Amino acid sequence: MQVADTPARRNEYGALKDMPTELRTLAQELLSKAIAAKKLAAPYHDMALHKRHGYLGRCLNYDYYDVAESCILVQQRETERTKYGSSPIKNYFIIRRCGRGVTVIDAPKATVVKLAKISTGLGQVIQTITGKAKKPLTVMARAGHPG
């Protein structure tokens, strides 16, 4: 299966909603290797039910934003919920297979989200960010706003 030929179904934020089984397996494997190598923090859920304010505490989880043949783009979302509201902290990483292990590099926050929202196929966002795209995605500025 060619990854570039696979259409991407995304949610309103740009995260992948579903992907073929073999690509999901690849994505889970690469993320697991990055966590096992301590290059990324393991997901956790440390919330307790408060009878007045609902669930309070912290949690960390990952969403897939793009997948290619040997790398994935993930969003790491750490959320702290207090009685005053939720405070998410989002970071984006490209996890690439390297020998038997993986390498993890930061991805630019604003660029990832904008490109993911306009991407139509799998692998386009990763290739555009890493500079390997033959035809990179471009984000148009909104009318009335400079660049």
pLDDT, position 1:
46
Q: Distance between CA 24 and CA 67 in Å, rounded?
A: 9
Q: Distance between CA 98 and CA 140 in Å, rounded?
A: 34
pLDDT, position 90:
96
In this prediction the pTM is 0.84
E strands in the chain: 9-10, 16-18, 44-50, 54-67, 71-82, 85-98, 101-107
Percent composition of the chain: helix, strand, coil (DSSP 3-state, to 5): 20, 40, 35
Q: Is the pLDDT of residue 147 over 50?
A: no
- 92: confidence class by pLDDT, cuts 50, 70, 90: very high
